[in-house]
Amino acid sequence: MPQAQVLRNRPGIRHEDWSQWPTIPLEQMESTFSVQQYIQNMVRHDASDVKKIVEVPEGQDRDLWRYELLRQVCQDLNNFVVLLEPECTASSCPEMKALEWLYLCAGHPNPQQCSALDYIIHTLDSATALLNSQKYFPSRVSIPPTSLKHFSNVTRRLYRIFAHAWFHHREVFTEFE
């Protein structure tokens, strides 16, 4: 009986070997988290092929695919914040703007103005909390129809992070891309 391959980076791994395990076709994955793992494999192998990454494979649940993509975007945006933080400070960006658009932060009891970086962190925190909520997303295998309404709200708020970076921190945006 063949031994199962461990798909993770071991302590002490060399930089050139980081995440260099083979991609397993989705239909051969048997994990509860197979959709997440497959999306992460596609991102790892070619993050620029966005069309392929967002395309729902035949036989896969469209809503589950969208859910896992939103979770992946939140994970990736956390890495983006690390790059953005030195440039996007409370003094350089006291408001969350994209050109003339001013966005109020929904991370408070009543929406209010925040510095751009605080807005970004609050948005990522609330999106992550929502997407990990057992109340709205009790399973990683299927998405309740009543929870689909949250996708557009999360997507809209995450888009604002990209818009701010594009219009106010183009160099950081380009580096991250």
- Does residue 74 have a known ligand-binding role? no
Local structure of 177: helix, strand or coil:
coil
Supply 18's token pair.
Answer: 């980081």
DSSP states along 87-102? TS-TTT-SS-EETTEE
- Does residue 114 have a known ligand-binding role? no
Please state, in angstroms and rounded to a whole number, the distance separating the CA atoms of residues 23 and 137.
27
The answer to whether 86 and 170 are in contact (CB under 8 A) is: no
Indicate the burial class of 17 (C-beta count within 10 angstroms; 0-12, 13-18, 19 or more). exposed
- Does residue 93 have a known ligand-binding role? yes
Amino acid in the structure at residue 65? W
The answer to whether 93 and 115 are in contact (CB under 8 A) is: yes
- Does residue 105 have a known ligand-binding role? no
Please state, in angstroms and rounded to a whole number, the distance separating the CA atoms of residues 60 and 120.
31
Annotated binding site: 88, 93, 164, 169
Bind-site residues for Zn(2+): 88, 93, 164, 169
